[in-house]
Amino acid sequence: MKTRKRSRFITALIISTILLSGLFRPVMAAEMKSVILATTTSTQDSGLLDVLIPQFEKNTGYFVKTISVGSGQAMAMGQKGEADVLLVHSPAAELKLVASGVGINRRLVMHNDFVIVGPSDDPAKVKGLKSTREAFKKIASSGKLFLSRGDNSGTHAKEKEVWKAAGINQEKEKWYQQTGLGMGQTLNVAAEKKGYTLADRGTYLALKKTLGLEILNEGDAILLNIYHVIEINPAKWPKVNAAGGKAFADFMLSRQTQDVIKTFGVDKFGGALFFPDAGKKVEDLGK
Protein backbone atom coordinates (compact mmCIF):
# COMPACT_ATOMS: atom_id res chain seq x y z
CA MET A 1 0.00 0.00 0.00
CA LYS A 2 1.01 3.58 -0.10
CA THR A 3 2.69 3.71 3.31
CA ARG A 4 4.89 0.74 2.57
CA LYS A 5 6.12 2.33 -0.63
CA ARG A 6 6.82 5.53 1.25
CA SER A 7 8.93 3.88 3.95
CA ARG A 8 10.90 1.96 1.38
CA PHE A 9 11.62 5.19 -0.39
CA ILE A 10 12.81 6.83 2.79
CA THR A 11 15.11 3.91 3.52
CA ALA A 12 16.60 4.32 0.08
CA LEU A 13 17.18 8.01 0.69
CA ILE A 14 18.89 7.29 4.00
CA ILE A 15 21.20 4.77 2.41
CA SER A 16 22.19 7.18 -0.30
CA THR A 17 22.89 9.88 2.25
CA ILE A 18 25.24 7.53 4.05
CA LEU A 19 26.92 6.77 0.76
CA LEU A 20 27.27 10.44 0.06
CA SER A 21 28.71 11.39 3.43
CA GLY A 22 31.21 8.59 3.22
CA LEU A 23 32.73 10.26 0.24
CA PHE A 24 32.94 13.79 1.47
CA ARG A 25 35.38 13.29 4.29
CA PRO A 26 38.30 12.11 2.22
CA VAL A 27 37.59 14.79 -0.38
CA MET A 28 37.66 17.63 2.08
CA ALA A 29 40.66 16.36 3.99
CA ALA A 30 42.65 15.74 0.87
CA GLU A 31 42.23 19.10 -0.73
CA MET A 32 43.85 20.69 2.29
CA LYS A 33 47.35 19.57 1.53
CA SER A 34 47.64 17.45 -1.57
CA VAL A 35 50.57 17.02 -3.88
CA ILE A 36 50.11 15.71 -7.39
CA LEU A 37 53.04 13.54 -8.33
CA ALA A 38 53.21 12.54 -11.97
CA THR A 39 55.31 9.50 -12.56
CA THR A 40 55.52 6.56 -14.95
CA THR A 41 53.73 3.24 -14.81
CA SER A 42 56.98 1.34 -14.63
CA THR A 43 58.07 3.35 -11.60
CA GLN A 44 54.73 2.69 -9.94
CA ASP A 45 54.71 -0.95 -10.90
CA SER A 46 58.09 -1.57 -9.31
CA GLY A 47 56.41 -1.03 -5.98
CA LEU A 48 59.07 1.38 -4.74
CA LEU A 49 56.59 4.22 -4.35
CA ASP A 50 54.27 2.00 -2.30
CA VAL A 51 57.03 2.02 0.31
CA LEU A 52 58.22 5.60 -0.02
CA ILE A 53 54.97 7.54 -0.34
CA PRO A 54 53.48 6.47 3.00
CA GLN A 55 56.73 7.46 4.69
CA PHE A 56 56.63 10.88 3.05
CA GLU A 57 52.99 11.36 4.00
CA LYS A 58 53.71 10.42 7.58
CA ASN A 59 56.66 12.76 7.82
CA THR A 60 55.09 15.79 6.25
CA GLY A 61 51.32 15.40 6.52
CA TYR A 62 50.91 15.93 2.79
CA PHE A 63 48.54 13.72 0.83
CA VAL A 64 50.21 12.48 -2.32
CA LYS A 65 48.18 11.70 -5.40
CA THR A 66 50.42 9.48 -7.44
CA ILE A 67 49.28 9.66 -11.03
CA SER A 68 51.16 6.98 -12.91
CA VAL A 69 50.84 7.24 -16.65
CA GLY A 70 53.09 6.89 -19.66
CA SER A 71 56.20 9.07 -19.68
CA GLY A 72 54.77 11.23 -22.45
CA GLN A 73 51.65 11.99 -20.46
CA ALA A 74 53.63 12.62 -17.28
CA MET A 75 55.79 15.17 -19.08
CA ALA A 76 52.72 16.75 -20.65
CA MET A 77 51.06 17.05 -17.26
CA GLY A 78 54.15 18.83 -15.99
CA GLN A 79 54.23 21.06 -19.03
CA LYS A 80 50.63 22.11 -18.42
CA GLY A 81 51.07 22.69 -14.72
CA GLU A 82 48.67 19.88 -13.89
CA ALA A 83 51.22 18.18 -11.65
CA ASP A 84 53.29 19.60 -8.78
CA VAL A 85 56.34 17.39 -9.15
CA LEU A 86 57.58 14.78 -11.62
CA LEU A 87 59.55 11.61 -11.07
CA VAL A 88 60.50 10.52 -14.56
CA HIS A 89 63.20 8.93 -16.61
CA SER A 90 63.23 10.46 -20.12
CA PRO A 91 66.29 12.70 -20.12
CA ALA A 92 65.71 14.20 -23.56
CA ALA A 93 62.16 15.28 -22.82
CA GLU A 94 63.15 16.39 -19.33
CA LEU A 95 65.77 18.74 -20.69
CA LYS A 96 63.18 20.31 -22.95
CA LEU A 97 60.92 20.87 -19.97
CA VAL A 98 63.70 22.58 -18.05
CA ALA A 99 64.68 24.64 -21.07
CA SER A 100 61.11 25.90 -21.34
CA GLY A 101 61.38 27.20 -17.80
CA VAL A 102 58.46 25.10 -16.60
CA GLY A 103 60.63 22.47 -14.96
CA ILE A 104 62.95 23.63 -12.18
CA ASN A 105 65.40 21.99 -9.77
CA ARG A 106 65.92 18.92 -11.86
CA ARG A 107 67.84 16.60 -9.59
CA LEU A 108 69.21 13.10 -10.04
CA VAL A 109 67.57 10.57 -7.74
CA MET A 110 68.47 7.03 -8.79
CA HIS A 111 68.94 4.76 -11.75
CA ASN A 112 68.19 1.30 -12.81
CA ASP A 113 68.89 -0.34 -16.04
CA PHE A 114 67.17 -1.89 -18.97
CA VAL A 115 67.80 -5.34 -20.19
CA ILE A 116 67.05 -7.20 -23.39
CA VAL A 117 64.93 -10.22 -22.63
CA GLY A 118 63.85 -12.98 -24.94
CA PRO A 119 63.17 -16.71 -25.30
CA SER A 120 65.76 -18.94 -23.65
CA ASP A 121 66.77 -20.53 -26.96
CA ASP A 122 67.87 -17.04 -28.15
CA PRO A 123 67.27 -17.51 -31.91
CA ALA A 124 68.93 -14.18 -32.82
CA LYS A 125 72.01 -15.10 -30.77
CA VAL A 126 72.38 -11.87 -28.84
CA LYS A 127 73.47 -13.42 -25.59
CA GLY A 128 76.79 -12.24 -24.19
CA LEU A 129 77.29 -9.41 -26.68
CA LYS A 130 78.98 -6.46 -25.00
CA SER A 131 77.35 -3.85 -27.14
CA THR A 132 73.59 -3.52 -27.00
CA ARG A 133 73.72 -1.79 -30.36
CA GLU A 134 75.20 -4.98 -31.79
CA ALA A 135 72.42 -7.00 -30.17
CA PHE A 136 69.76 -4.84 -31.76
CA LYS A 137 71.50 -5.11 -35.14
CA LYS A 138 71.45 -8.88 -34.83
CA ILE A 139 67.78 -8.97 -33.99
CA ALA A 140 67.04 -6.78 -37.01
CA SER A 141 69.11 -8.88 -39.39
CA SER A 142 67.70 -12.16 -38.11
CA GLY A 143 64.19 -10.80 -38.50
CA LYS A 144 63.16 -12.27 -35.16
CA LEU A 145 60.07 -10.83 -33.44
CA PHE A 146 60.67 -7.75 -31.31
CA LEU A 147 57.92 -6.26 -29.13
CA SER A 148 57.96 -2.54 -28.41
CA ARG A 149 55.78 -0.71 -25.91
CA GLY A 150 55.15 1.93 -28.54
CA ASP A 151 53.53 4.29 -26.01
CA ASN A 152 56.06 7.13 -25.74
CA SER A 153 57.04 5.89 -22.30
CA GLY A 154 60.53 6.19 -20.92
CA THR A 155 61.19 2.61 -21.92
CA HIS A 156 59.96 3.27 -25.42
CA ALA A 157 62.12 6.37 -25.65
CA LYS A 158 65.17 4.39 -24.54
CA GLU A 159 64.42 1.66 -27.04
CA LYS A 160 64.14 4.15 -29.89
CA GLU A 161 67.44 5.68 -28.76
CA VAL A 162 69.19 2.34 -29.15
CA TRP A 163 67.66 1.64 -32.57
CA LYS A 164 68.85 5.04 -33.72
CA ALA A 165 72.29 4.45 -32.30
CA ALA A 166 72.43 1.11 -34.09
CA GLY A 167 71.46 2.86 -37.30
CA ILE A 168 68.37 0.77 -37.85
CA ASN A 169 65.05 2.01 -39.11
CA GLN A 170 62.78 -0.44 -37.38
CA GLU A 171 59.38 1.26 -37.48
CA LYS A 172 57.92 -0.32 -40.56
CA GLU A 173 59.55 -3.72 -40.31
CA LYS A 174 57.35 -6.77 -40.09
CA TRP A 175 59.17 -8.29 -37.14
CA TYR A 176 58.67 -5.10 -35.13
CA GLN A 177 55.36 -4.98 -33.27
CA GLN A 178 54.11 -2.17 -31.04
CA THR A 179 51.77 -3.16 -28.23
CA GLY A 180 50.85 0.28 -26.87
CA LEU A 181 50.73 -1.36 -23.45
CA GLY A 182 52.48 -1.06 -20.12
CA MET A 183 55.72 -2.84 -19.32
CA GLY A 184 54.21 -5.82 -17.52
CA GLN A 185 51.73 -6.51 -20.28
CA THR A 186 54.30 -6.06 -23.02
CA LEU A 187 56.48 -8.63 -21.28
CA ASN A 188 53.54 -11.00 -21.24
CA VAL A 189 52.96 -10.53 -24.93
CA ALA A 190 56.66 -11.16 -25.60
CA ALA A 191 56.51 -14.31 -23.50
CA GLU A 192 53.40 -15.50 -25.35
CA LYS A 193 54.83 -14.85 -28.77
CA LYS A 194 58.38 -15.88 -27.87
CA GLY A 195 59.81 -12.54 -28.95
CA TYR A 196 62.43 -10.09 -27.74
CA THR A 197 61.76 -6.90 -25.88
CA LEU A 198 63.49 -4.20 -23.93
CA ALA A 199 62.39 -4.04 -20.29
CA ASP A 200 63.45 -2.26 -17.13
CA ARG A 201 65.12 -4.71 -14.81
CA GLY A 202 62.70 -4.02 -11.98
CA THR A 203 59.53 -5.01 -13.82
CA TYR A 204 61.24 -8.01 -15.37
CA LEU A 205 62.41 -9.31 -12.01
CA ALA A 206 58.98 -8.85 -10.53
CA LEU A 207 57.41 -11.00 -13.24
CA LYS A 208 60.29 -13.33 -13.87
CA LYS A 209 58.79 -16.51 -12.55
CA THR A 210 55.65 -16.41 -14.63
CA LEU A 211 57.28 -15.26 -17.87
CA GLY A 212 59.70 -17.86 -19.07
CA LEU A 213 61.89 -15.19 -20.69
CA GLU A 214 65.59 -14.71 -19.89
CA ILE A 215 67.90 -11.71 -19.69
CA LEU A 216 69.99 -12.00 -22.84
CA ASN A 217 71.82 -8.70 -22.90
CA GLU A 218 72.70 -6.21 -20.18
CA GLY A 219 75.35 -3.89 -18.81
CA ASP A 220 75.89 -1.49 -21.70
CA ALA A 221 75.92 2.12 -20.56
CA ILE A 222 73.30 3.01 -23.10
CA LEU A 223 70.87 0.82 -21.17
CA LEU A 224 70.99 2.98 -18.08
CA ASN A 225 67.60 4.26 -17.00
CA ILE A 226 68.13 7.46 -15.09
CA TYR A 227 65.50 8.98 -12.78
CA HIS A 228 65.25 12.65 -12.01
CA VAL A 229 62.83 14.55 -9.86
CA ILE A 230 61.63 17.84 -11.34
CA GLU A 231 59.56 20.49 -9.63
CA ILE A 232 57.08 22.60 -11.58
CA ASN A 233 57.75 26.32 -11.62
CA PRO A 234 55.08 28.28 -9.71
CA ALA A 235 56.09 31.38 -11.63
CA LYS A 236 54.83 29.74 -14.79
CA TRP A 237 51.91 27.91 -13.19
CA PRO A 238 50.74 29.75 -10.07
CA LYS A 239 48.28 27.02 -9.07
CA VAL A 240 50.92 24.37 -8.38
CA ASN A 241 51.61 23.31 -4.85
CA ALA A 242 55.22 24.45 -5.01
CA ALA A 243 55.94 23.85 -1.35
CA GLY A 244 54.58 20.32 -1.53
CA GLY A 245 56.46 19.57 -4.72
CA LYS A 246 59.70 20.77 -3.22
CA ALA A 247 59.07 18.80 -0.06
CA PHE A 248 58.66 15.63 -2.08
CA ALA A 249 61.75 16.29 -4.17
CA ASP A 250 63.82 16.96 -1.08
CA PHE A 251 62.43 13.80 0.49
CA MET A 252 63.52 11.68 -2.48
CA LEU A 253 67.04 12.96 -2.11
CA SER A 254 67.26 12.62 1.64
CA ARG A 255 69.76 10.23 3.22
CA GLN A 256 67.01 8.09 4.69
CA THR A 257 65.11 7.67 1.44
CA GLN A 258 68.24 6.93 -0.51
CA ASP A 259 69.01 4.10 1.92
CA VAL A 260 65.54 2.68 1.42
CA ILE A 261 66.06 2.82 -2.33
CA LYS A 262 69.34 0.97 -1.99
CA THR A 263 67.80 -1.99 -0.23
CA PHE A 264 64.50 -2.12 -2.06
CA GLY A 265 63.77 -5.47 -3.63
CA VAL A 266 66.72 -7.33 -2.22
CA ASP A 267 64.73 -9.70 -0.05
CA LYS A 268 62.04 -10.24 -2.62
CA PHE A 269 64.05 -10.57 -5.82
CA GLY A 270 67.51 -11.31 -4.52
CA GLY A 271 68.88 -8.08 -5.91
CA ALA A 272 68.33 -4.35 -5.67
CA LEU A 273 66.01 -2.89 -8.29
CA PHE A 274 67.34 0.65 -8.10
CA PHE A 275 70.66 2.33 -7.36
CA PRO A 276 70.53 5.59 -5.37
CA ASP A 277 72.43 8.46 -6.96
CA ALA A 278 71.65 11.63 -5.03
CA GLY A 279 74.37 14.19 -5.40
CA LYS A 280 76.19 12.38 -8.20
CA LYS A 281 76.72 13.54 -11.71
CA VAL A 282 75.07 11.73 -14.59
CA GLU A 283 78.32 11.24 -16.45
CA ASP A 284 79.71 9.26 -13.54
CA LEU A 285 77.06 6.61 -13.60
CA GLY A 286 77.56 3.13 -14.84
CA LYS A 287 81.29 3.26 -14.40
Partner 1 sequence: MDIIVEGLLKAFQLIFSLDREVLTIAVLSLQVSGLATMISLFLGISCGTAVALTEFPGRNLVVSIINAGMALPPVVVGLFVTVFLWRNGPFGFLQLLYTPTAMVIAQAIIATPIVMGITVAAMQSLPKKLRLQILALGATRLQMLWILMREARLPLLAAVMAGFGGVISEVGASIMVGGNVLGYSRVLTTATVMETGRGNFDVAIALSIILLLFVFIINLILTLIQQRERPR
- Residues making contact with partner 1 (CB under 8 A): 5, 16, 19-20, 22-23, 26-27, 30-31, 36, 41, 44-45, 50, 63-68, 80-82, 181-185, 187-188, 203, 206-207, 210-211, 237, 239-240
Least distance (Å) from partner 1 to the CB of residue 193? Answer: 16
**55 or 210: CB nearest partner 1:** 210
Least distance (Å) from partner 1 to the CB of residue 99? Answer: 21
**46 or 90: CB nearest partner 1:** 46
Least distance (Å) from partner 1 to the CB of residue 222? Answer: 26
Q: Rounded CA gap, 137 and 192, in Å? A: 23
**170 or 186: CB nearest partner 1:** 186
In the three-class reduction of DSSP (H, G, I as helix; E, B as strand; rest coil), residue 137 is classed as helix
Q: Rounded CA gap, 272 and 183, in Å? A: 19
Least distance (Å) from partner 1 to the CB of residue 275? Answer: 21
Least distance (Å) from partner 1 to the CB of residue 33? Answer: 12
CB-neighbour burial class of residue 243 (10 A; exposed 0-12, middle 13-18, buried 19+): middle
**184 or 219: CB nearest partner 1:** 184
**16 or 100: CB nearest partner 1:** 16
In the three-class reduction of DSSP (H, G, I as helix; E, B as strand; rest coil), residue 169 is classed as coil
**112 or 188: CB nearest partner 1:** 188
Torsion angle in degrees (nearest 10) through CA of 185, 188, 189, 193: 180
Task: Give residues with Cβ within 8 angstroms of 42, minimum separation 6.
Answer: 153, 154, 155, 182, 183, 200, 202, 203
**32 or 99: CB nearest partner 1:** 32
Least distance (Å) from partner 1 to the CB of residue 81? Answer: 6
Find the length of the chain.
Answer: 287
CB-neighbour burial class of residue 247 (10 A; exposed 0-12, middle 13-18, buried 19+): buried
Q: Rounded CA gap, 68 and 87, in Å? A: 10
Least distance (Å) from partner 1 to the CB of residue 182? Answer: 4
Residue among 143, 85, 113 at smallest CA distance from 217: 113
Indicate the DSSP class of residue 168: -
